[in-house]
Structure 1
Amino acid sequence: MKMRNFLMIVAMLFALSFVLVACGSSDDSEEGSNGDDTSEETDSGDSESSDEESGESSEEGSEGESASGDFSAAMVTDVGGVDDKSFNQSAWEGLQAFGDENGLTEGDGYAYAQSNSNGDYEPNLTRLTKQGYNLVFGIGFKLTDAITKVAQQNPDTNYALVDAVSEAENVANIVFKEHQGSFLAGVAAANKTESKQVGFVGGIDSPLINKFEAGFEAGVKSVDSSIEVEVQYAESFDDAARGRQIASSMYNSGIDVIYHAAGGAGNGVFNEAKDIKNNDPEAYVWVIGVDRDQYEEGAVTVDGTDYNVTLTSMVKRVDNAVVDVSTRAMEGDFPGGETIEYGLEDEGVSIARTNEEAFTEEIGTAVDEWQQKILDGEVEVPSTREDLETFLSEME
């Protein structure tokens, strides 16, 4: 009996030691797992901290850099808005195209912030920066001060400024040779006018819009120096009513072709021309659009017959520039501190030929001839009023 009890005790001790060994092994494994978990929690905590330091993207929502770490880009509009059918819209279409090409989703990989007043520029730029976008565009020269300030405060974020130059090292400056494209718009206007009176409606009287004005008048006068060119400014890029008022005055004075470089205010020019056409289908009134092909803006139907008052448009490929700079930034070749200029030679500006009925073959041939002269260096298109005066005096 004693021997039997002894064997039972030995067996129990053996079994207990096996259990203890197994438990010890399990504890070691769990301890290692806890260590890994602790590491993951630490990493996660660091990530959250990093997000907060880089702009509190975790608190702002999912509009910044995606969870997969994909490149992201955003833009801040000028007051004209993303649907101005002109400058801002072209930039947004470029950003959308970039997003589509690279599999990004709107609101995560790319987005825009609407500016309703000048006071919105800096807050919008700051918000997109905090949301973690890798590249933030400022659309329009009016954002220069705001983007320079925000860029200097956030040296680890890349920015791009359209139509002006910032001194910040992390800002890529995108400018265009608008005067070249406007010269060709002037050639088209000079070949289209019957009254020998054409008009130019600018947005804000500034060095940028003066480039459109100078190039346009130079193009008109190069074809026929006797043509009168009237210039007026709306002093706004979003006051369509003011644009319409100016256009009404011009058309009533005998002007039959108006070139606008006024953003949303230019919509008023189209509205006036279409209203005139609607009241009198035989009226000879034309509009030259700007920044993007504005052919659709000139469509009007009278008694079942379709008309279009858009002669042509000076297309400024803001969309292509946005795609180009975004791609370079994504590929690690961001041109920070550089100024990139797009002109006729690289199709940065061009003339739309959509309205084949109005933009005749004769006009197209004339435009092509003058374009070649510019590309060959035979014509140096003026970009300021001072240069225009010199240009015109040399023609005499």
Structure 2
Amino acid sequence: MQVYLVGGAVRDELLGRIVKERDYVVVGATPEQLLKQGYQQVGKDFPVFLHPKTKEEYALARTERKQGQGYTGFVCEFSADVTLEDDLRRRDLTVNAIAKAHDGSLIDPYGGKQDLDNRILRHVSDAFSEDPLRILRVARFAARYHYLGFTIAEETLQLLTQMINQGELQTLTAERIWLECEKSLTDGAFAEFLNILAQLGALSAISPALACNWSDGLYQQLKNRYAYAQSQNITVQPLLFAQATNSLTADDIKAVSETIRLPNDVRDLALQLNAHQATLTSQTITAEQLLACCNQLDLWRRPERFDTILSAIEINQAAPLSNQQQLLTAIKTARAINPQQFIAQGITGAQIKTALEQARLEVFQQYF
């Protein structure tokens, strides 16, 4: 039984990047052998095991055979006879198909180290085209390593274009598309990710609303916004994703949420920013407008929503609102108004809400 470090850990170590997780491939072993050594199998039909102490993933060397459509239509085949080279051949890119032995030596049958040195992303074999998810993965890797000068090999570009033109992306679920977007947001390279998808012609397949709005100008704007967010250590995904939908209509945002299955908090912030940004950034905002905004946001029960929108606007403008402290002070004062004071005055029923609204409006009129 031989154990090798594989995939992203080897790639990032060779690039001098921080290795966040380590995956291993085990050659010449059976599930029974690993179970006897205390490994915990993940799933019933997938030969991946968790190390008894480190909980890192150890996968039996395996091959995959396409059987059906989409990115899930694969039959996994594994046995002690599957070689390391067989296992590496099923991987997507040569830079992800490098293994490292315990003595530090590299096993690199497909030229991944040379492609790393030349900053090239190249598919390992024609089997690449069997998995449409790899279109998004290549775009994500190209975006993540764009700052290092990585480009996609010409033959891989041709294969990606062919897959896209054949409608392969239509087999991906909206939930799976979001997961790739989520990973790119975590990478801090979402502007590059969207731009690469647009250049490939893939953006229109996964989100027509985003594609129709895409332009070089928006790409540059997003790069600037994300650079500001990074400078402020802002990594909250709803805040970051909302920048990409900032110039869309509410209907477009809802369409994006259907084709890319946005989590509720991501979708809701995008819609709230769309509805209230113009009001909150206006230099002539009135007390009445601010009250309407607060009511629509249900700020009295959900005060965090207002803070989140202000943060989204700050990223968008690369600076806090000039009157941000004034807004926060006014809202804090208005939120301190207690309905009990009106009840103590003998006000009842629906009139309590009316009195509360008037009192809050009068507070805002002191500031705006």
TM-score interval for Structure 1 and Structure 2 normalised by the shorter chain = under 0.3
Higher strand share: 1
Higher RCO, 1 vs 2 (CA within 8 Å, ≥6 residues apart): 1
| TM value normalised by structure 2 | 0.23
Q: Based on CA coordinates, which of the two structures has the bigger radius of gyration? A: 1
Higher helix share: 2
| TM value normalised by structure 1 | 0.22
